[in-house]
Amino acid sequence: MNGKVVTELGTSVNPANDSVTVDGVRVKSVAEYTYIMLYKPKGCITTVNDELGRKTVYDYLTDIDVPHLVPVGRLDYDTEGLLLLTNDGDLTFSLTHPSHEVEKTYIVKVEGEMPEHKLAQLRKGVVIDGVKTNRSRVKLLEYKDGISRLRVSITEGRNRQVRKMFEAVEREVIFLKRIAVGELRLGGLARGAYRYLTDAEIAYLKSL
Ligand code: URA
């Protein structure tokens, strides 16, 4: 691989960067595209560059030399968690298309209690920017030291959607982390770290 002899079984290959030859013959990769899961930390933006000079998600991907790697949707500057990046434009299009957006799950912390009627309002849909949100799944996980922690799953990707949904029920979001996109989970990935998706994960995303 890349001119070196590899003897270790299970050596992983990045199809976009690595060149693999067997008996001098280049092995053509099955995977044409690159699919990455990044644990985006808060304090960086989800675009290529920022006129204000702020950190971007690409600052966490400096060792990957893949052209046109773009984020699948966005996370706000202050939001952390699971961000997919790929150069597979068809997949990006289908995962973010408003007609059938994949469900995204967040851990949300807000100041104050979350009484049942506010939870019910969020589940049924609230009006943000003049348009009602789809039904969502909302579970109160705990209320401790004046802070409510919830798990929220939504099927749209409107601008600052979760923050605005909570504003609509008079609660300010003080922590927001995306933990899942469909069945793909952030798991134990460290903040700021990334990994390549497995073949099964790629097949799953393409099946959605
Ligand atoms: N909802 C938000 O408010 N912000 C995000 O980054 C993602 C969802």
- Residue 67 inside a domain? The answer is yes
Give the residue with greater pLDDT, 157 vs 113. 113
Pick the catalytic residue from 59, 63, 76, 88.
76
pLDDT in tens, 123-138: 999 999 999 999 999 9
Tokens (6 digits) for 72: 């699948």
The confidence band for 25, taking pLDDT boundaries of 50, 70 and 90, is low
Are both 88 and 190 inside the same structural domain? yes
Pocket of ligand 1 contains residue 151 by CB under 6 Å: no
- Residue 24 inside a domain? The answer is no
Report CA(97)–ligand 1 centroid distance (Å). Answer: 17
- Residue 20 inside a domain? The answer is no
Are both 177 and 188 inside the same structural domain? no
- Cβ distance 110 to 173 under 8 Å? yes
**What residue owns the CA closest to ligand 1's atom 3?**
160
**pLDDT higher than threshold 60 for residue 121:** yes
pTM of the model: 0.85
CATH number of the structural domain spanning residue 93? 3.30.70.580
- Residue 4 inside a domain? The answer is no
The confidence band for 165, taking pLDDT boundaries of 50, 70 and 90, is very high
Are both 107 and 94 inside the same structural domain? no
pLDDT for position 65: 87
Are both 68 and 108 inside the same structural domain? no
Segments forming the whole domain that contains residue 191: 35-98+184-207
pLDDT for position 167: 98
* Count of structural domains within the chain: 2
Atom of ligand 1 nearest to the CA of 104: 8
Report CA(140)–ligand 1 centroid distance (Å). Answer: 18
- Residue 16 inside a domain? The answer is no
Q: How many CA atoms lie within 13 A of 173 on its CB side?
A: 22
Are both 108 and 65 inside the same structural domain? no
- Residue 17 inside a domain? The answer is no
Are both 89 and 190 inside the same structural domain? yes
The verdict on whether 76 is a catalytic residue reads yes
pLDDT in tens, 171-195: 999 999 999 999 999 999 999 999 9
Task: Name the β-bridge partners of 128.
Answer: 131
DSSP string, 93-161: HHHH-GGGPPPEEEEEEEES---HHHHHHHHH--EETTEEPPP-EEEEEEEETTEEEEEEEES---TTH
Report CA(83)–ligand 1 centroid distance (Å). Answer: 12
The confidence band for 18, taking pLDDT boundaries of 50, 70 and 90, is confident
3-state secondary structure at position 194: strand
- Residue 90 inside a domain? The answer is yes
CATH number of the structural domain spanning residue 169? 3.30.70.1560
Are both 153 and 189 inside the same structural domain? no
**What residue owns the CA closest to ligand 1's atom 2?**
160
